[in-house]
Amino acid sequence: MPLDRIVLIIVCVVIAAGATIWLGVFLLAALTLPLPALLLLLLPVALVVWLVWRVIADRLANREDDHYDQIEK
């Protein structure tokens, strides 16, 4: 898969995650939940960051197992 396509997918995912968090913050503000509820909001953010980190780290560390770059077009 070309690098520009991966970057596009990551940008779309980050924008979608940001929009989700933004809407979640408005929902929590509307419901006036206490601080522990705000800490629950950090869980999806941490999971997305971890997932992106793992994908990028695996992509950079294992170049000989890159199936998509060796496909003839």
Nearest Cα neighbor of 13 from 62, 66, 56, 57 is: 56
- The tokens for 19 are 């929009």
Q: In whole angstroms, what separates CA 56 from the centre of its chain?
A: 11
pTM exceeds cut of 0.85: no
Interatomic CA distance for residues 18 and 41, integer angstroms = 12
Which residues form the domain of 63? 3-70
CB count, 10 Å around CB of 38?
A: 13
Predicted local distance difference test score (pLDDT) of residue 29? 73
Tell me the CB-side half-sphere exposure of residue 31, using CA atoms within 13 A: 10
Predicted local distance difference test score (pLDDT) of residue 71? 63
Q: Count structural domains, the chain.
A: 1
- Per residue of the chain (73 residues), what is the pLDDT tens digit? 778 888 889 999 999 999 888 888 877 776 665 667 667 777 777 888 888 888 888 777 776 666 666 666 5
